[in-house]
Structure 1
Amino acid sequence: MAQPLSASRMVEILRAEGLTVHEVRSWRTHHRNAKGPWGPVNGVMIHHTVTSGTEASVNICYNGYSGLPGPLCHGVVDKKGHVHLVGNGRANHAGLGDRHVLAAVVDERPLPADNEADTDGNRHFYGFECVNLGDGKDPWPEAQKEAIEKVAAAICRYHGWSERSVIGHKEWQPGKVDPRGFTMDGMRGRIAGRLKDGGDADPSPEPPAKPAPKPPAKPAPKPSYEPFPGPAFFRAGRRSPVITAMGRRLVAEGCGRYQQGPGPEWTEADRRSYAAWQRKLGFSGTDADGTPGRTSWDRLKVPDVK
């Protein structure tokens, strides 16, 4: 759960990921916010356009059509791998979908089957339309798939999300088939690898200058960590600087699920964040319920607050 990116920050993070970004007309103020809330955001949704040609696809996603005004997404990914930004705010792309899918995205766990349409997806998801007819025959060039990977990874990295925050329209709304032509599990695998590797490396880094000789330094003091306070410590109403320090470490590990904070009081946001850390360590089921245990606590290395 997070506050939506500003237009300027969206451009910044996409270009930092190595993408070619085109700003279309008045996209920075083009939205459907008057028709419903925008945010908090929880994930990225991928679509195909069912159109061909970059210009025509971008225009329809910007303008919309009779019965469905634009913007129809936040960005269009063309076959060359360029991103055309067409909206900033609420967009008509996701429609109603399954609340259980949204809950799985928030918790970053495997998706259940989408068999209900009871939740407003336009509020909670960034949407990217990808130029493709969606007939199973129109090819997906590698440059386009790499751009989808980069777009999703850039947004996930900014918000501290994992690849499980990226879904296809077909995984959200019953009856939808997009994107068709590649699997979302495969795309999530690509995104996970990119997040793990930290994005593009400099293809020709300059060799570092040889440092001048330095006198021997005194060894740094060994860091001190908070001992595990026991599972009973983590209960509603508990306030402690230890909880703040824990939350900051969870954010640093990419597991923060805070809309505000972290702060000194144990909250549901702390529990969800810690559950994400447990899942990151490979725990599941009741071992990943968000209540700290000794093994996961020791591996989090919460700094001593005394």
Structure 2
Amino acid sequence: MATPLSADRQLKALRDEGVKVTERAGWRTHNRNHKGAWGPVHGVVIHHTVSSGDDSSVELCYNGHSALPGPLCHGVGRNDGTVALVSAGRANHAGSGDGDVLRAVINETALPAPNEADTDGNRHFYGLEIVNLGDNKDTYTRAQYRAAVLWAAALCRAHGWSERSVIGHKEWQPGKIDPRGPIEGGGSFSMTQFRADVRAQLAAKPGTDPAPTNPPKETPAMPLSTEDVKKVWTTDGILPAPSTAAKGNTHWTPDSYLRDTHVRVRAVQTELAATHATVQTLAGLIGRNVDTAAVVAAVEQAIADAVIKVDVDINSKES
């Protein structure tokens, strides 16, 4: 049974963890406590705002709207990596969710899929709204993501919870999709990875930045440098750069190589088909004494041996 943190204790916990905090005027007493109990608290819920613009999103989360009065969360994750505090009490963010999920959070066990809306989540969870359109296209900044990890870790540390007390809105309430969307630098918002990052933060001292639990991997969104190109693309003596790279471009993404390989393979297939047809025609002209299969096999081998030389003349320089 965890008693909710007071405004002062919440603020201290966040700052001690390294969260850059701004305080929206009135946040300490702005709440929905008159509509229901606040506490005991058992965890934190991560959301996206379905809005753009930091200042306007903070005001939206503080005031709410005609269908849902504010406050709509406790903190708002701005694009610049700061968290704006808008409430220290009960807030309209979690709504009714699955009681089985709440029990799993309390026990810090594996989460079941939410299939009911029978439990008041506003009573039991802190909520963070991250400014994002939630259309699966709008990108979370790295600063936003890091601030969200620190915010969740700060509250977990203050209450003695592990990362298993951190859930996404979509893991609490049936039909919800947040948080979702791409993250700056590659990858998409994953609650599994988010919890792993919270776990790493909790294992470190407050205010420190632990090594990433999932180091960035090469993805189409992360360009290769010229040196990477030389190492990867010339290892087998192929070409210094993809034939599909634009002139003057000094960086190529991995999917550039995939497209280039596809172009080259299609070119070889086309040439092979034409050669095969020619051999068949010649065999028909000179009679049945020619071993057509042997001729075709020899031509195919010659083409295979020459694959790496395709377009060498027109790609002798980096594009």
Q: After superposition, what is the alpha-carbon deviation per residue over 1:103-155, rounded to whole angstroms, capped at 9, x for unaligned?
A: 00000011000000000000000001000000111111111111000000000
Give the fraction of aligned pairs with identical amino acids, expressed as a percent: 63
Name the CA shift for 1:171/1:201 in 2 (closer, same or farther; >3 Å): closer
Rounded to whole Å, the distance in 2 between the matches of 1:98 and 1:108 is: 15
Rounded to whole Å, the distance in 2 between the matches of 1:100 and 1:19 is: 31
The answer (yes or no) to whether the contact 2:42–2:106 under 8 Å persists in 1 is yes
Rounded to whole Å, the distance in 1 between the matches of 2:60 and 2:10 is: 21
Number of the residue aligned with 2:49 = 49
**Which has the larger helix fraction?**
2
Q: Establish whether residue 188 from structure 1 lines up as the match of residue 195 from structure 2.
A: yes
Given residue 195 of structure 1, which amino acid in structure 2 is its aligned partner? L
Residue 200 of structure 1: CA displacement?
3.2
Rounded to whole Å, the distance in 2 between the matches of 1:73 and 1:92 is: 6
Number of the residue aligned with 2:169 = 169
- Alignment size in residue pairs: 203
Rounded to whole Å, the distance in 2 between the matches of 1:65 and 1:109 is: 35
Number of the residue aligned with 2:12 = 12
Rounded to whole Å, the distance in 2 between the matches of 1:179 and 1:201 is: 25
Structure 2: which 5+ runs fail to align?
Answer: 182-188, 211-319
Alignment of 1:1-306 (within 5 A): 1-181=1-181, 182-201=189-208
Structure 1: which 5+ runs fail to align?
Answer: 204-306
Q: Secondary structure at the match of 1:110?
A: coil
Number of the residue aligned with 1:278 = none
4+ residue runs over 3 A deviation? 199-203
Residue 199 of structure 1: CA displacement?
3.3
Residue 202 of structure 1: CA displacement?
9.2
* CA root-mean-square deviation: 1.3
Q: After superposition, what is the alpha-carbon deviation per residue over 1:38-92, rounded to whole angstroms, capped at 9, x for unaligned?
A: 0000000000000001011000000000021100000101111101000111100
Rounded to whole Å, the distance in 1 between the matches of 2:209 and 2:145 is: 21
Q: TM-score, length-normalised on structure 1?
A: 0.65
Q: Secondary structure at the match of 1:176?
A: coil
Rounded to whole Å, the distance in 2 between the matches of 1:79 and 1:98 is: 31
Rounded to whole Å, the distance in 2 between the matches of 1:92 and 1:199 is: 29
Q: Secondary structure at the match of 1:156?
A: helix
Q: Secondary structure at the match of 1:21?
A: strand
The answer (yes or no) to whether the contact 2:201–2:209 under 8 Å persists in 1 is no
Q: TM-score, length-normalised on structure 2?
A: 0.62
Q: Secondary structure at the match of 1:29?
A: coil
Question: In terms of Rg, which structure is larger?
Answer: 2
Given residue 128 of structure 2, which amino acid in structure 1 is its aligned partner? F
Q: Secondary structure at the match of 2:110?
A: coil
Residue 169 of structure 1: CA displacement?
0.3
